Amino acid sequence: MSEVNELSDFIRDMIKEDLATGRFDRVQTRFPPEPNGYLHIGHVKAIAMDFGVAEQFNGVCSLRFDDTNPAKEEEEYVDAIMEDIRWLGYDWEDRLFFASDYFDQLYEFALEMIKAGKAYVDDLSADEIREYRGTLTEPGKDSPHRNRSVEENLELFERMKEGEFEKGARVLRAKIDMASPHINLRDPVMYRILHEEHHRTGDKWCIYPMYDWAHGQSDSMEGVTHSLCSIEYKNHRPLYDWFLDQLGIFHPQQIEFARFNMTYTVMSKRRLVRLVKEGYVHGWDDPRMITLAGMRRAGISPEAIIKFIEHVGVGLSLSTIQHSKFDHFVRDDLNQRTNRVNGVLKPLKVVLTNYPDDQVEMMEFPNHPDDPSRGVREVPFTRELYIEEGDFMEEPHKKFWRLAPGREVRLRYGYLITCTDVIKDGKGEIVEIHCTIDPDTRGGNAPDGRRVKGTLHWVSASHALDAEVRLYDRLFTHPFPKEAEGDFTDYINPDSLQVIENAKVEPSLKDAPVGNSYQFERVGYFCVDPDTTDEKLVFNRTIALRDSWAKIEKQFQK
């Protein structure tokens, strides 16, 4: 990021101590995603920590893809992850690495471990390995293959590498202690057989390193000083340290911090993959997704996301953040950055019967009411206009202050108008409203000072542009969909997407660039979708002006 925040937390305090004591004389971090899906908002915490810490201490941060599971990894995910990180404002410069870059060296390290009697080839199945492993309260037991000779292990490992065995037939395990109180030290698997094509190495390998075997050694070879991980890897740290100590290579410091959850979302990649592959959403960049690609398409800025992550903070306990808190940061950011425009989602025609047929007046609108430096724009005003269907009520209730028969309202920056007639079709449906204007109220103010409660937005019927508007909302109706009874997909919000095909927007939006965001006055925040063409504008709703979920969230909190 261009501006470094001098943040303070327990991780930064540990790094300061490492530098002060001389344990390290520099700071190098890395962000190590697995390319098996798109990044989501939960990853931003790790990205901001890895890159932010390095920048704060005048260090460097690398991007390394931990691509050790070819069955689930794709080049598409690699490209998407890089795009997302750059979009957030971070740069790994020339430090782009892949765990697959180190496959040859990791294999050589494995041979060293075998020769030192610290690794062996095991024929137990995955289920048998779990059975032999023991429990948190009971020790494990040795595999019957644990005491194979070095020569036999070397021969079998070479045959594994050459593809002589089927998937799952054998594994290479570290030889540590099956009675260790640290369950991850009970002879963990280092290599497994996978006859899968790798997105970078092709069919060169049919054995692939496990994450725990590849991760620490990759950190070491790159010169990482501080390996920052989420809290679930705390129990893996003894193994991380053990491998590095046995090999006698440069030893980074692993430090863990807590992840966070957010209500009305799922952050598991496995569940996100299901949403995409089973068609609950229209791809990884669907604006209902919490992926960075989805939020970008929704019109959420990276600055809003980073501010939210800074608000979440860094700790050791898993926290759950209310979605409404995230929405607050999104609204606050959009309120400051977006220009105002007029957009009518469900148009109802208004005919000003005492206004000349061929007259066009240009009404002056501020682009941002709180920022005069953004200037003004001119919006055409004509005899026939569109207002929101919901801004008219033939039989208004007591607290309805907008347009109704015989009532006067203000057209924003236009005129005061009074409804004189309601025109209906043969089915009794309202098709247009007839009104008269007060010609002395141009700009929307009465010279006699009379007060008008209702103010409506509008567009000229003859100048308005047609637009498709996609009204996105939260994807789930339950704040904790993965913990709720049944499958998490049972709580998909059926109203999470509503498409309006005949919306009308003011003509200033004719050449609105894809990705640009605007506030449709009195309606919400919208951005231009990539599906926009020369013939058709498409807008995505980023968020409504007001939180319609507040009452629902309070009910669940009770």
Residues assigned a catalytic role: 34, 259, 269
User: H helices of 388-526, where?
Assistant: none
Q: Which amino acid is at 265?
A: T
Q: Which amino acid is at 35?
A: P
User: What would the DSSP string read from start to end of 412-450?
Assistant: TTS-EEEEEEEEE-TTS-EEEEEEEE-GGGTTS--TT--
Q: Are 348 and 430 in contact (CB under 8 A)?
A: yes
Q: Which amino acid is at 87?
A: W
Which residue reads 């682009």 in tokens?
367
Q: Which residues pair with 460 in a beta bridge?
A: 385
Q: Are 322 and 263 in contact (CB under 8 A)?
A: yes
210's tokens: 């496990």
Pairing relationship of beta strands 60-65 and 28-31 according to DSSP bridges = parallel
542's tokens: 């980023």
Burial class (CB in 10 A: 0-12, 13-18, 19+), 275: buried
Describe the strand order of the beta sheet including 171-174 as a list of residue ranges: 119-122, 171-174, 189-193, 207-209
79's tokens: 């490209």
What whole-number distance in Å separates Cα of residue 292 and Cα of residue 287? 9
Q: Are 479 and 401 in contact (CB under 8 A)?
A: no
Q: Say whether 524 sits in a helix, a strand or coil.
A: strand
Q: Are 174 and 190 in contact (CB under 8 A)?
A: yes
Angle between helices 550-557 and 323-337 (to 10 degrees): 160
The full length of the chain comes to 558
Q: Say whether 398 sits in a helix, a strand or coil.
A: coil
Q: Are 69 and 34 in contact (CB under 8 A)?
A: yes
CA dihedral 270, 307, 312, 23 (to 10 degrees): 90
Nearest to 40 by CA among 279, 329, 280, 275: 275
Nearest to 122 by CA among 103, 140, 147, 105: 147
Q: Determine the Cα angle at 367 with ends 364 and 369, to 5°.
A: 95
What whole-number distance in Å separates Cα of residue 56 and Cα of residue 6? 7
What whole-number distance in Å separates Cα of residue 283 and Cα of residue 105? 37
Nearest to 352 by CA among 314, 403, 401, 399: 403
